[in-house]
Structure 1
Amino acid sequence: MGCAGRVARLRSRAVAEVVRLRESASPGAKFPRILTNSAAGELARVLLIVFALCPAVVAAESGPPRPGLSETVRQTQAKVVKIYGAGGFQQMEAYQTGMLVSPEGHILTVWSYVLDTDSLAVVLADGRRFEAKLLGADPRLEIAVVKIEGADLPHFDLNKAVEAEAGQRVLALSNLFGIATGNEPASVQDGVIAVKTQLQARRGVFETPYDGPVYVLDAVTNNPGAAGGVLVTRSGDLIAMLGKELRNALNNTWLNYALPIEQLRGPVEQIRAGKFVARREEPEKRPERPITLADLGLVLVPDVVERTPPFVDRVVSGSPAAVSGIRMDDLVLLIGDRLVPSCKSLREELGLIDREDPVKLTVLRGQELLEFELHTEDAKAQTPP
């Protein structure tokens, strides 16, 4: 069939559709009822001319062409990184995934034991290897920002992240099982968003301090090394970050989920601005009477290694810590908005607070985050033996 024949057939179909709409419209409808058959034919003819002879106009109205699936994967791969750090004990993996979120080398990932080391390494998609440092972390969301020294790096713009709906097809990219070590591509999984729901509704079932919205995925993304990976649309738009391994305590099944970027954008900017970070610079001035652990009535576990986590070994009876409700085995995460990853850093941070000022502590108890404010005048602390 020639071009004229195809146009004729399309014109007939267009006329029939417009007439059908006119005849089926309700009495109050204005648009279809004012169209006669000849007017409908004229409208269809004009539309056909526009679509057939002016494809550039139609394309301009619908926006720029979206990349194909292979191009989407290629572009996304360049923004996904492999992170290597602490691990190796009790079959704990020493790797996870992250995403570049700035051209200067800021990387969003999950906050985990992998980052608890001074020998942190990041490998880009092209195989380049960088020394990295933990810039800061927000324990409430279990996210962290890692920094490498780079320039003009491909990255995700968190401000351009999109929301997704149940039933939407998505792609998950991560270094699950640590398959990629150099310039090998990250693993790509095709899946579907099952539902967007509140993780808080599952407290007591899934053990995690995060209690916000998540995308539950119909894809097996909950694997070692996958945490910190990216969830994107099939056009490459960033949706979420893959969460940590999370198992149902009742039936031993795993939850495949991702954290919406809309929940992470603000905290990431706060970390980049200096909040939730470990103090690295030497302060200009220290108080004359700084607070000590003895003032608060806290006894930490023995500080036997360089980065001993600040677990509470004992709380002195009648002390400010006891009055506030801090317990043995609590893990101190923050003093104010400063991250304290070790016993040493906790002592140093306390040394910057005057004895007359309150001390705000954020601790992890089991999988629950708790905040306390301690005042030395609340109770008379007893110096532990």
Structure 2
Amino acid sequence: MFHRKNYFILAAVMLLVGHVAVAQAQLPDFTPLVESASPAVVNISTKQKLPARGAGAHMPDLEGLPPIFREFFERSIPGMPSDRDQQREAQSLGSGFIFSEDGYILTNNHVVADADEIIVRLPDRSELEAKLVGADPRTDVAVLKVEGKGLPTVQLGDSSKLKVGEWVLAIGSPFGFDHTVTAGIVSATGRSLPNESYVPFIQTDVAINPGNSGGPLFNLKGEVIGINSQIFTRSGGFMGLSFAIPIDVAMDVANQLRTDGKVSRGWLGVVIQEVNKDLAESFGLERPAGALVAQVMDGGPAAKGGLRVGDVILSLNDESIVMSADLPHLVGAIKPGSKARLGIVRGGERETLNIVVGALPEEGEAVVASSTDAQKSNRLGVKVTELTAEQKRNLDLPGGVVITEVLNGPAAMIGLRPGDVISHLNNQAIDSAKTFSRVAEQLPKNRSVSMRVLRQGRASFITFKLAE
């Protein structure tokens, strides 16, 4: 007779097996994707000539010595140039992928930057010399070209349709191990990274290491939806945070490089900063959101369109600006000369501005604030003086005050320094020392107050509270 206990054990085992079978059925099979996509993924190696060691140093004249002695001294004396030194080279390794049958390849700019020679190795081990068509350091995208016809290519996808939690797969050459395949999921989209203003990165947990840079990131359809670019790490190795350039961004850059040889980006001509809780309260916002305009460039698109210092940009062409870092890549993607619709908050009221977007300059200009001597104190614990006509012109300000001395008080606690220029206080423009003192005396207590400060020409808003 079958014991009841054995029946329950058998039932539990069958249930466990069923769960395992279901879990296995839900896991994707990557083998067809790898087999079809791998032929178009390439290994990229570069060489860069370096100056000879000891070049320019004072060396003894060896011309009169016999060759055998001259060779001895060249090998023995530290810093002596030799044939080996003259041929020193720096080498780097990365990945890339072919996206056209006539040999155009996408990779990262940092993989091929400053290279004197670029070699592309195909999966069949054949090697081709590549030419750099163009590169864009701002997005870290580079386009290469090899001679060939009917080359294997990848299928390009639409990164805008990517969803968090979706399976993705990377193929590359980490540490030189060709065609290494790793997989994971999309952890986030539209991720902004420090010092990376023009790329809304795809964040994944796909294992990426040195050598993967420039390689493709695939979705389950076998479409490239990103270029693996960088990782976040504290150890130097993979820690579960990798970032890829969306293929939509990369291809826009690639097409401009192929046709124009350069990349044009939209530009507003503003300096922005994050809106934290205190700033949100100060500007009458329900919650922290948007990009606070801390500075407007004179004669720039924003200035011509009526944008002002203290405005909070909440949307661009109906796309919400949640973090200030969302704004630069949205503006950069707009074609110069196009109109942009900005949703802003000004003085606690919502408004809409229509601005003609300009072209991002190649190089920005910095202005430096200077200070003068004067004596006028106030309840914030600073001594200030009005800006001279030259300072106003250099800083492009209609008015303001410059701090000449910081005393013990609130100003010292919030980090103000002599030479800082105050142009706005409590959402009011400061046109004179008299105005500054009046506004300072009327500051509310135990409520967030905003102050716009320029330090070495760069403006930002800070917040503070005055105690009872």
Largest Rg, 1 or 2: 2
* TM-score (ref. length: structure 1): 0.47
Q: Name the structure with the higher strand share.
A: 2
Report which structure shows greater RCO (CA 8 Å, sep ≥6): 1
TM-score if structure 2 supplies the norm length? 0.39
